[in-house]
Amino acid sequence: MKPFSYYSKPQISYPLKINYITFYVYDKGECIYEKSNSTTESITKSQLSRKYPNAVIQEVFDEDTYKARCKEYDAENTRLYQEFQDDLFEEYGVSDNPKKFKCFELAWEHGHSSGYEEVYNHFGDLVELILD
């Protein structure tokens, strides 16, 4: 079984909405500034308002890219959850046991709020009930 931190730390970072915003600053009909927050430095509309007090600031949110990134993040978390479950079943030798999912559901219900290690501990306590 891998370390518990492996399962709880997806390789994909959580997508923040602010990282999918592009600001356009217009003065006298011309775009004088364009900045996407997908870079390392984030900027806010209020910062731009202070820097360009007489300009019009347009904020454009790239919803499609944001939603795609959220799906990738969710898929990665689902993959890690499934991998943890499979590794747990293998660790306790119950991969072929028909009651393994019920045992896991109970362990998850009682321990997931404290992390994968606690689920592991609860599963270890409950697995004796399904062994022949």
Per-residue pLDDT reduced to its tens digit, 43-59: 889 999 999 999 999 99
Q: Exposed e or buried b for every residue in 88-119, given b needs 16+ CB within 10 A?
A: bbeebebeebeebeebbebbbebbeeeebebb
Name the 3-class secondary structure at 64. Answer: helix
pLDDT reported for residue 40? 66
φ, ψ for residue 51 (rounded to 5)? -75, -35
Band (38; pLDDT cuts 50, 70, 90): confident
**Mean pLDDT calculated for residue range 77-87:** 97
HSE-CB at 4 with a 13 A cutoff on CA atoms is 9
Q: Check: CB of residue 22 under 8 Å from CB of residue 54.
A: no
User: At residue 42, does pLDDT exceed 70?
Assistant: yes
**Mean pLDDT calculated for residue range 78-89:** 97
Domain ranges of the chain: 17-61, 63-132
pLDDT reported for residue 43? 87
